[in-house]
Amino acid sequence: VTQKIDSAIKIAKEALVENRNSHWVVGFSGGKDSTAVLKIIISAYKAVRRPPQKLDIIYCDTGVESILLDRYVKGVLKRLRTELRSTDIPANVKILRAPVSDRFFVKIIGRGYPPPTNSFRWCTKNLRIRPVSKYLKSASEDDAVVVLGMRENESEQRRRSVTKSGGTVWQTQREGKQSRRIFLPILNFELTDVWDAVYLVKHPRSIDPTALDRLYRNGSEECPVIKPPSAPPCASGRFGCWTCTVVRRDRSAEAAIASGTKELQPYLDFRNWLAEIRNDYSKRWPERRSGQPQPGPFTISARKEILRTLSRLERRTGHRLLTPSERAAIGLLWQRDVLIERELGIQP
């Protein structure tokens, strides 16, 4: 491996030894940066004589993750669990999810939320930030060290925020009364170092670098899973949600389809349709739930239409897009809103 990777592994080894009683948490998104970090931490862990006994690898599953990434990551996590067990590394692979009431389609089809836009971006917090913070809150009680794949050179915005917070591999993140330590072993990595680490560091073996590389063919940013000290907005990422309507066009899906991944077309059509009907006010309540005279939630008949279209997409792709508990939550939410619609004089 290269000198930069060697020195990152060395720093990680020292950090593990010095913090062996802490609860180590590696934030894994499946993307290249967090893959490089995972490889560095696992390699360091294997090389340390008395490593920490609490090590979690966390992944946040939004339920609407980019189709190709979702398939890739679920495969990696499954293999990783087996590999870690067989190598006696006492690490837990944890998949975090938002509570059913906060999931993307429960909000849209159940509560009638309009699909997110830049000015009403209700999704990032519900789907990505909150499930992770909730988990970290409990881990922080054991003096957590959170390992992230943040890099100074990722973007100008990142560089500014890193410089502001001292530019060191150790940073502190405050959340309410709690503060937790963030360890950033690849802070000074350039993009080429990241790919070197992905390809050259052997462990864990469950990650196939070429499969990851394929996901990046059309290159762009990732949607952050754990909010680092100052995170860029999540919206322009290739690794965002396939349903994301915050971006005007889903260029990464368009590019993937243009280069032959035709299976994404029905998902893209659905996303485009969802973005369009947001602005059809005949499908929305005439007022908000608060009573403000502005377009409110989708009407129940519009929500039913979205559910029918989504179910068609499920049948067409053979991919389950709503879990049974999400369907049940939607049904319960409709029961209450039927009464409100009656009061508002909306025809069913």
Residue that the structure tokens 């980019």 belong to: 66
Residue 54: φ, ψ to 5°: -110, 110
Among 68, 69, 241, 322, interactor with ligand SF4 by CB under 6 A? 241
Closest Cα partner for 183 from 172, 174, 196?
172
Task: Point out which span in 118-126, 138-146, 188-196, 284-292 binds ligand SF4 (CB under 6 A).
Answer: 118-126
Quote the CA–CA distance of 206 and 317 in Å, as a whole number: 27
Q: Which residue is nearest to ligand SF4 (CB)?
A: 240
Half-sphere exposure for 325 (CA within 13 Å, toward CB): 7
Strands 178-183, 170-175: parallel, antiparallel or unpaired by DSSP?
antiparallel
2: tokens are: 């290269």
User: Is residue 80 involved in binding ligand SF4 (CB under 6 A)?
Assistant: no
CB of 295 to ligand SF4, least distance (A): 20
Q: How far is the CB of 175 from ligand SF4 (least distance, A)?
A: 19
| Contacting range for ligand SF4; rule: CB under 6 A; set: 233-241, 250-258, 265-273, 277-285 | 233-241
Which of the stretches 5-13, 49-57, 117-125, 156-164 binds ligand SF4 when contact is defined by CB under 6 A? 117-125
Nearer to ligand SF4, 23 or 128 (CB): 128
Give the position of tokens 């006010």: 281
User: Smallest gap, in angstroms, from Cβ of residue 298 to ligand SF4?
Assistant: 17
Helices (H) and strands (E) in the chain, counts: 13, 6
- Determine the interface stretch with ligand SF4 among 20-28, 119-127, 190-198, 289-297 (rule: CB under 6 A): 119-127
> Residue 274 interacts with ligand SF4 (CB under 6 A)?
no
In the list 234, 253, 300, 307, the residue contacting ligand SF4 (rule: CB under 6 A) is 234
286 φ/ψ sector (left φ>0, alpha ψ -120 to 50, else beta) = alpha
Q: Which residue stretch of 6-14, 18-26, 122-130, 179-187 sits at the interface with ligand SF4 (rule: CB under 6 A)?
A: 122-130
Are the C-beta atoms of residues 237 and 220 closer than 8 Å to each other?
A: yes
- We find the least distance from the C-beta atom of residue 114 to ligand SF4, in angstroms, to be 12
Shortest distance, position 225 Cβ to ligand SF4, whole Å: 10
Contact between 69 and ligand SF4 by CB under 6 A: the answer reads: no
Is the CA virtual torsion 298, 301, 303, 306 positive or negative? negative
Long-range contacts of range 169-176, CB-CB < 8 Å, 24 or more positions apart? 169/11, 169/15, 171/229, 172/229, 173/146, 173/228, 173/229, 175/133, 175/136, 175/137
Which region, judged by CB under 6 A, interacts with ligand SF4, from 52-60, 70-78, 236-244, 249-257?
Answer: 236-244
Q: Is 116 in the site for ligand SF4 (CB under 6 A)?
A: yes
Contact residues for 29 (Cβ-Cβ < 8 A; gap 6+): 59, 60, 73, 149, 222, 223, 224, 225, 239
Strands 23-27 and 91-96: unpaired
What residues between 128 and 187 interact with ligand SF4 by CB under 6 A?
Answer: 128
If the CB atoms of residues 56 and 250 are measured against ligand SF4, the closer one turns out to be 250
Indicate whether 107 belongs to the interface with ligand SF4 (CB under 6 A). Answer: no
Footprint on this chain of ligand SF4 (rule: CB under 6 A):
116, 121, 123-124, 127-128, 223, 234-235, 240-241, 243-244, 246
